[in-house]
Amino acid sequence: MAELSKTKRALITLALTAGFGGSLFFALRGQKEEQTAQQEQAQLASTVVLKGLIALDVEAYFKDERVVKRLAAKRLPVAVQRVGSRDMAAKVSAEQDFLFPSGVVAANQVVDAARKANLNAAQVSPFHTPMVIASWEPIAKILVANGLARAISPKVYGVDMARLTELMLAKKKWKDLKEASAYEVTRSVLVSTTDLRRSNSGAMYLALTSQALLGDVVTDRATAQQTALKLAELFKRQGYQENYVNGNFDDYVAIGMGKAPMAFIYENQLVSHAMAKKGVSADMVLLYPQPTIVNKVVFVSLNERAKALGELLANDAELQSIAVEYGFRIADTQRFMAALQPTGLAVEPRLSQVVDPPSFELMAEMIDVVAREMAQ
């Protein structure tokens, strides 16, 4: 009887152990399945396309297959839509993950709109480009002869913006300048720009000439209005102006000195052109306004994944190198200069005279004044 009882106990123990083991097996399997599901969900979330609004300046960059592949490999794919930089603030919503406007003025407007919408905005500037005047060697020599510019290095000139602005406001014509035989025309001395009502580069020209006129950055509304009223004729007397950034540059490249003796552009436009064409025309030169404005392309993220994208654009070596191919300057000046060297295009390596534009409220005030004057 004792042996039988012992056998029963062993069988019961075995049954209980088997039952517990089975329960443990199913519990562990369920836990593993749950972990797998969570991993799949995390992986899916990490590959969800980030939606963004971008400036024209970086549209080609985001379309580059190398950029597309690199972002996909980092599980940060994007779908972008081109929007005017100054139009972005009105389009800020939770539907976007990021916005990438051209210029700190537009970026500050975007950040302000994001905060008003209770969206957590963060900023980073992955690359930048100075505002320059694309011109021609004969024009540069005329400016030098008249004390308006000086040679910095071969085919690189510094332009005294205060003197040039004063001369333009005085309505001087090219034929009235000393040693103007290479461009002895009856046209007024003007720098051609894009339409500041639509284009950031046009607005930066207004910011730069306002600083040149005053000798300082505009800091109050009354001064902004008075200054803009004086400078409005520099835009009115240009005649028709393109409302997108490439229009002014296209005239410079395609039509030449007769149409665009001096064209206000982003430096990256001529740099990227030189890289794509593996050189530039022999008499193409860059005039650097002194002082000038460095235009930052500012990435504004509205969530953590978008913030990670901005940091990737700013720090990934491959993405930074591709940005240089599109003419942008990066933190590594040597890499920028090395990439440019084979083209033969001369640039100023390090900019020493740089100013900031006025606040976005004052810029908006100045643009409104000029726009009203142009409409009359």
**Least-confidence region, from 64-78, 161-175, 195-209:** 195-209
Judge whether 288 and 351 are in contact, CB under 8 Å. Answer: yes
* Whether pLDDT at 23 is above 70: no
Q: What is the CATH number of domain 50-128+296-343?
A: 3.40.190.10
pTM of the model: 0.85
Judge whether 192 and 239 are in contact, CB under 8 Å. Answer: no
In the chain, beta strands by DSSP E: 50-54, 78-82, 98-100, 122-136, 149-153, 156-160, 263-266, 284-290, 294-301
Residue 194: CA atoms inside 13 Å, Cβ hemisphere, count?
21
Question: What does each C-alpha distance from 134 to 139, 149, 170, 289 come to in angstroms?
Answer: 10, 14, 22, 11
Q: What is the pLDDT of residue 195?
A: 87
Question: What does the domain layout of the chain look like in residue ranges?
Answer: 50-128+296-343, 130-295+346-375
Q: Which fold would CATH assign to domain 130-295+346-375?
A: D-Maltodextrin-Binding Protein; domain 2 (3.40.190)
Distance, CA of 78 to CA of 133 (rounded, Å): 33
- Comparing 26 with 302, the larger pLDDT belongs to 302
Q: What is the pLDDT of residue 325?
A: 96
* Whether pLDDT at 216 is above 90: yes
- Beta-bridged to residue 130, according to DSSP, are 294
Q: Which two tokens stand for residue 188?
A: 């007024």
Identity at 242, one-letter amino acid code? E
Round the CA-based radius of gyration of the chain to a whole number and report it. 30
Q: What is the pLDDT of residue 239?
A: 77
Q: What is the pLDDT of residue 256?
A: 86
Judge whether 131 and 262 are in contact, CB under 8 Å. Answer: no
Q: How confident is the model at residue 255 (pLDDT cuts 50, 70, 90)?
A: confident
Q: What is the pLDDT of residue 251?
A: 87
* Whether pLDDT at 206 is above 80: yes
* Whether pLDDT at 17 is above 70: no
Distance, CA of 27 to CA of 86 (rounded, Å): 57
Q: How confident is the model at residue 112 (pLDDT cuts 50, 70, 90)?
A: very high
Q: What is the pLDDT of residue 246?
A: 75
Question: In this structure, what is the dihedral angle of CA atoms 82, 88, 93, 94, given to the nearest 10 degrees?
Answer: 50
Which tens digit of pLDDT belongs to each residue from 31-50? 666 665 555 454 544 579 99
Instruction: Report the phi/psi class of residue 157: left, alpha or beta, with left for phi > 0 and alpha for psi in -120 to 50.
Output: beta
Instruction: Decide whether 50-128+296-343 matches 130-295+346-375 in CATH topology.
Output: yes
Q: What is the pLDDT of residue 40?
A: 46
